[in-house]
A and B are shown apart, each in its own frame.
Chain A
Amino acid sequence: MKRLVFSLALLCALGLGVFWWLTAPGAAVSAQDGAALESGGDRARGEIVFNAGGCASCHMTPGQSERTVLGGGFALTSPFGTFVAPNISSHPRDGIGAWKVADLANAMLRGVSPEGAHYYPAFPYTTYAHAKIEDVRDLMVYLRSLPAVEGKAASHDLQFPFTIRRGLGLWKWLYLDTTPLKPEPVQSEAWNRGHYLVEALGHCAECHSPRNPIGGIIAAQRFAGGPDPEGHGFVPNITAKGLGAWSRADVSELLATGFTPDYDSVGGSMAAVVKNTSSLPKADRDAMAEYLKSLPAREGPPRPAKQASKVD
């Protein structure tokens, strides 16, 4: 009996050890490498990263129209509770004004805070993890040039056990892929640029893919559409299955004006995405269109029948 208890205790300790090891936050950039990142960087290029990454969609202060006022406060509802985007303005106390480039790199590329805690993947670092370190540096130069906004955003309102950040380590172990995107030499330069913009910055797949019950994207149905992660409506399939009849110019046009090929205009959360993509150079929108149009047709989850809304 004593032996059994002992082995159980050992097993439990071992399990906890594995949990601790699996969930330990790891940094992308050491303090040493970080020092070199503090010099250089290009604001104009950083602005492109900002728009391609769609940071304003979540971090701009709601209820005003300046995309550069990044006071946070936007609430993202999810099955796990409500996440509130924090203040990432240049304010030294309430924003990230005191951050180093390395801090931003660890946040975006690994989902780890300066204090070494895990971030929730509501912050789409699963996408940004593929970004180039030089792009993070340029982005930081741009962010530092934006106005400081005073005041912290509200805290998240989550259900137990999602309140425990350490547990996110397990989730990351399953779903966070930090390998940089490899260029595909057989594809055109525009395709490769589009690949990078869509997969490392645009986080298009975060909305346009179905998720499993613990919030991981179902890989085989990436871009094949699914229920809106925020709970209302359905996000369309943007593989060849959904966009088969669209030309590359049609896709590029949608990213510039929000017009679909029949000149209806997209709404919902896509309208905010169009505000981001319309601020990019046209060549970048064309490149994204080139990449999207190359996605093979994938069958998505069935669209729920439209709710009967006829009252008359």
Chain B
Amino acid sequence: MIRHLLAATALLACATGAFAQSDPIAERQQLMKSLSQSARAPGAMLKGEAPFELSAVQATLKTFADVGKKAPTLFPAGSNVGHDTAAMPKVWTDKADFDAKWAKFESEATAAQASIKDEASFKANFPGVARACGGCHENYRAKKN
């Protein structure tokens, strides 16, 4: 009896674990939330609510670039339904353009890491990177509400 229970528990644990791991929708939504999280600090600096801090801006840009590299793998075929996904069908019907948008996001974030050295270059260059978020959502993400 105990053995059965253990086996069943182990099986269940495996199943849920495997499920969590192979659930690209939840994973990409989490990744997207991390983008918003990391945009907070530079956003406050742009609004003048926080003092400029180069290291925080660089950390955000690094997160952006890392996400830009990883994200395209999280939209496999078949992950267009479920989990309240807001990804639009165009993600899959126009995959080449969608992937190119991620590549551009990554390269812009990387380029900004080099070009942002002080507050002036931050104010000049960061908004452009930030607009890449909306530039992709415009075509590929259904409105939240």
Say yes or no: is A265 at the interface (Cβ < 8 Å to chain B): yes
User: In the complex, are the beta carbons of A253 and B39 less than 8 A apart?
Assistant: no
- B137: which A residues are within 8 A, CB to CB? 265-268, 271
How many Å lie between the Cα of A267 and that of B47 in the bound state?
A: 21
Q: 8 Å CB contacts to B: which residues of A243-271? A: 247, 249-250, 252-253, 256-259, 262-271
Question: Within the complex, which residue of B36, B84, B127, B145 is in contact with A278, where a contact is CB–CB below 8 Å?
Answer: B127
User: In the complex, are the beta carbons of A274 and B40 less than 8 A apart?
Assistant: no
Chain B residue, CB-CB nearest to A262:
B36
How many Å lie between the Cα of A278 and that of B123 in the bound state?
A: 12
| Contact A256-B127, Cβ < 8 Å, known A265-B134, A266-B134, A303-B145 | yes
Q: A257-B43, A265-B36 are in contact. List 11 more A-B contacts (CB 8 A).
A: A234-B143, A249-B49, A253-B47, A257-B130, A257-B134, A259-B43, A265-B130, A267-B143, A309-B85, A310-B83, A310-B84
Q: 8 Å CB contacts to A: which residues of B29-60? A: 36-37, 39-40, 43, 46-49
Say yes or no: is B81 at the interface (Cβ < 8 Å to chain A): yes
Chain B residue, CB-CB nearest to A234:
B145
- B83: which A residues are within 8 A, CB to CB? 310, 312
How many Å lie between the Cα of A306 and that of B142 in the bound state?
A: 12
Chain B residue, CB-CB nearest to A275:
B131
How many Å lie between the Cα of A306 and that of B144 in the bound state?
A: 9
Say yes or no: is A233 at the interface (Cβ < 8 Å to chain B): yes
How many Å lie between the Cα of A270 and that of B144 in the bound state?
A: 13
Total of A-B residue pairs, C-beta within 8 Å: 80
Say yes or no: is B89 at the interface (Cβ < 8 Å to chain A): no
User: In the complex, are the beta carbons of A263 and B145 less than 8 A apart?
Assistant: no
Chain B residue, CB-CB nearest to A264:
B36
How many Å lie between the Cα of A264 and that of B39 in the bound state?
A: 9
Say yes or no: is B133 at the interface (Cβ < 8 Å to chain A): yes
How many Å lie between the Cα of A304 and that of B81 in the bound state?
A: 22
Question: Within the complex, which residue of B39, B141, B142, B144 is in contact with A259, where a contact is CB–CB below 8 Å?
Answer: B39
Q: Which 5 A-B pairs have the closest CB atoms?
A: A267-B137, A271-B138, A258-B134, A265-B133, A257-B130
| Chain B residues engaging chain A, CB cutoff 8 angstroms | 36-37, 39-40, 43, 46-49, 81-85, 127, 130-131, 133-135, 137-138, 141-145
Query: From residue B61, how far is it (CB to closest CB) to chain A in Å?
Result: 14
27 sample A-B contacts, Cβ–Cβ < 8 Å, listed by A number: A232-B143, A247-B47, A249-B49, A252-B47, A253-B43, A253-B46, A253-B47, A257-B46, A259-B43, A263-B37, A264-B36, A265-B134, A266-B137, A267-B138, A267-B143, A268-B137, A268-B138, A268-B143, A271-B134, A272-B138, A275-B131, A275-B135, A278-B131, A303-B145, A306-B145, A310-B83, A310-B84
Say yes or no: is A5 at the interface (Cβ < 8 Å to chain B): no
How many Å lie between the Cα of A236 and that of B85 in the bound state?
A: 21
User: In the complex, are the beta carbons of B143 and A249 less than 8 A apart?
Assistant: no
Say yes or no: is A311 at the interface (Cβ < 8 Å to chain B): yes
Query: From residue A179, how far is it (CB to closest CB) to chain B in Å?
Result: 35
- B39: which A residues are within 8 A, CB to CB? 259, 263
How many Å lie between the Cα of A265 and that of B141 in the bound state?
A: 11
Chain B residue, CB-CB nearest to A247:
B47
- A232: which B residues are within 8 A, CB to CB? 143
User: In the complex, are the beta carbons of A267 and B134 less than 8 A apart?
Assistant: yes
